[in-house]
Amino acid sequence: MNLRRRFIVYLVVVHAMLAAASAYLLRQDRVWLVAVESTFLVTFAWGVLLVTRLSGSLAAVRESSQFLDEGELTTRFREAGHPDVDLLVRVYNRMVDSLRDERVALQEQQYFLGRLIDVSPAGVVILDHDGHVALVNRSAELLLQTTQAVLSGRRLEDVVSPVASLAAAVPPGEARVVAIQGGRRIRCQCATFVERGFPRRFYLLEELTDELRRTEKAAYEKLIRMMSHEVNNSVGATRSLLQSSRVYGSELPPEHQAEFDQAIGVATDRLERLNTFMRGFAEVVRVPEPHKQPTGIEALLEGCARLVQAQTDPARVAWRWDRRDTLGDVNMDPAQMEQVFINIMKNAAEAVGEAGTVTVRLARGADSGVIEVEDTGSGMTDEVRAQVFTPFFTTKQHGQGIGLTLVQEILRKHGFVYALEAPGGGPTVFRVTVPLAERATSINPLA
């Protein structure tokens, strides 16, 4: 019998006895009154005991409620030997065991998710319910060029970063590939998740530059190989036919022989130009691994500048040197790096317009040298800047679109860091950062 029934029976019996005793005592003497009072005292003590046990059960309920309210899930109750209380204890113990296991599993999952976000190569930016930055991982800090401390509590559109402003414009559920300076491409994806019944946004930022470059390179390598095969076959056969035709030219009348020789010469020259044209494309595909050796970077730059300067109009292009530091030797392939700087300087000279200045600037950091080629041209539009390193893309009337592709390929093989800054309106700066082989000595800049 449970406590509730015992208490009810107790009240019924006591009240029945009191009623009967009262009725009887009306007709008997006072001795019976003493007996009734004694019985009442006994039953009262038993009632107190029952109420005490009931209160103890209620205290256990209150204590368990307090533990749950405080999140204390490590305490378990012992069974008291009463069916109702023991049932409650068993249910409570099972419940807290289950909640504790779920909380441990949730904490382990959150820790794993946190570690996964930390080491993810993709940048992760999580916003709070008000649209402010709540969490960024290390990859996102590198892409946004700032830190968690600076980003926390701010909106993405208010962060001074080209990637942040572009990412903030991506609506939830969509993904966009955006281009930033230096030919880098970032895939920005915005999605949402629900927390406490309210949606929160997060962004995934993934740099696709290397992946797209490999895909593009594989595509244009295949295209160039096919073109080279067809052109070389046609050029070889056509050159053989033209050489054979020259034999028959001597049999023509004198008045037609000169015109015939001129036509054959034009066709032969055109074949040579076509062959040279195809070799230019093939050079991009067949860039060998660099044979690095200590090379004086300044002497190489001066030679490249003299070569390009000789091909420019002095009245249109002024050349200026800004030597902030001496750079000494750089471990590089001199032949390949000569091609790099000739292309960069030539592009700068062609971009200055009717009259302008090309500046070659030398500086150094703690253990690296910085070479900048700056022109006073009009810069680039957003569309051109996004595609400037794309193979075969060119804004020149007779350009092939392989110059900067070749530059990019050589610099990547050397492991040198490079960037192209060409805001609309100019100036345009191509910056190459190279590791130095020795300590440089600061000198006065030369105009």
Same domain, 261 and 354: no
Of 104, 138, 163, the residue at which a domain comes to its end is 104
Q: In what order do the strands lie in the sheet with 356-364?
A: 317-323, 356-364, 368-375, 428-435, 417-421
In a domain, 115, yes or no: no
**Helix (H/G/I), strand (E/B), else coil: 417:** strand
Q: Is a pLDDT exceeding 80 seen at residue 388?
A: no
What local confidence, expressed as pLDDT, does residue 359 receive?
A: 93
Q: Is the pLDDT of residue 329 over 60?
A: yes
DSSP letter assigned to residue 183? T
Residue 80: is its pLDDT beyond 60?
yes
324 and 391 belong to one structural domain: yes
Between residues 137 and 284, the one the model is more confident about: 137
- On whether residue 176 sits in a domain, the answer given is yes
pLDDT of residue 112: 82
How many angstroms separate the CA atoms of 331 and 338, rounded? 13
Look-up: residue for tokens 């880098």?
184
Provide φ and ψ at 295, rounded to 5°. Answer: -135, 135
Residue type, 411: L
What phi and psi, each to the nearest 5 degrees, are found at residue 434?
-125, 145
Q: Cis omega before residue 427 (within 30°)?
A: yes
446 φ, ψ (degrees, to nearest 5): -110, 135
pLDDT tier at 399 (50, 70, 90 boundaries)? Answer: low
Indicate if 188 and 246 belong to the same structural domain: no
Lowest mean pLDDT among 141-150, 280-289, 313-322: 280-289
pLDDT-based confidence at residue 261 (cuts at 50, 70, 90): confident
Residue range 369-384: average pLDDT?
Answer: 84
Where does the pLDDT of residue 186 fall: very low under 50, low under 70, confident under 90, or very high at 90 and above? confident
User: What distance in Å separates the CA atoms of residue 414 and residue 395, rounded to the nearest whole number?
Assistant: 27
> What pLDDT, on a 0 to 100 scale, did the predictor assign at position 360?
92
Contact indicator for 86, 79 with CB cutoff of 8 Å: yes
pLDDT of residue 373: 92
- Same domain for 340 and 415? yes
Of 192, 207, 222, the position where a domain reaches its end is: 207
% residues pLDDT > 90 (the chain): 5
Q: Which residue's structure tokens are 């015109």?
A: 259
- Other Cβ atoms closer than 10 A to 334: 18
User: 419-445, pLDDT tens digit by residue?
Assistant: 888 777 778 899 898 888 654 343 433
- Verify that 311 and 273 share a domain, yes or no: no
The angle formed by the CA atoms of residues 308, 312 and 317, to the nearest 5 degrees, is: 105
DSSP conformational letter for 415: T
Predicted confidence (pLDDT) at residue 209 exceeds the cutoff of 70: no
Q: Find the helix or strand (DSSP H, E) in which 2 lies.
A: none
Tell me how far CA of residue 294 lies from CA of 106, 328, 338, in angstroms. 56, 9, 14
Q: Tell me how many domains the chain contains.
A: 4
Residues 33 and 156 in one domain: no
Please state, in angstroms and rounded to a whole number, the distance separating the CA atoms of residues 376 and 356: 6
Using CB atoms within 10 A of its CB, is residue 149 exposed (0-12), middle (13-18) or buried (19+)?
exposed
More confident residue, 221 or 428: 428
Mean of the per-residue pLDDT values of the chain: 77
Q: Does 76 have pLDDT greater than 50?
A: yes
The winner for highest mean pLDDT among 17-21, 124-128, 351-355, 396-400 is: 124-128
Phi-psi region of 355 (alpha: psi -120 to 50; beta: other; left: phi over 0): beta
Q: Which of 28-32, 46-50, 176-180, 289-293 has the highest mean pLDDT?
A: 289-293
Higher pLDDT, 390 or 189: 189
Residue 146 lies in a domain: yes
- Which of 49-63, 245-259, 282-296 is predicted most confidently? 282-296
Claim to verify: residue 308 and residue 421 sit in the same structural domain: yes
In a domain, 62, yes or no: yes
Residue-wise pLDDT tens digits, 226-237: 666 667 666 777
Mark whether 422 and 392 lie in a shared domain: yes
Residue 345, in any domain of the structure: yes
Identify the domain boundary among 207, 235, 270. 207
Query: Average pLDDT in the 15-38 region?
Result: 65
37-41, 123-127, 168-172: least confidently modelled range: 37-41
Least confident of 196-205, 313-322, 400-409: 400-409
Residue 281 included in any domain: yes
Residues 6+ apart with CB under 8 A from 282: 224, 228
Q: In which domain, by residue range, is 173 found?
A: 120-207
Q: Are residues 375 and 300 in the same domain?
A: yes
Q: Is the pTM of this model over 0.85?
A: no
Comparing C-alpha atoms, which of 392, 360, 356, 357 is closest to residue 373?
360
- Tell me the mean pLDDT in the region 52-74: 69
Q: Check whether 239 has a pLDDT greater than 80.
A: no
Q: Tell me which of 113-127, 310-324, 393-407 is least confident.
A: 393-407
Instruction: Tell whether 424 is covered by a domain.
Output: yes
Going by pLDDT thresholds of 50, 70 and 90, the confidence category of residue 30 is low
Give the CATH number for residue 429.
3.30.565.10
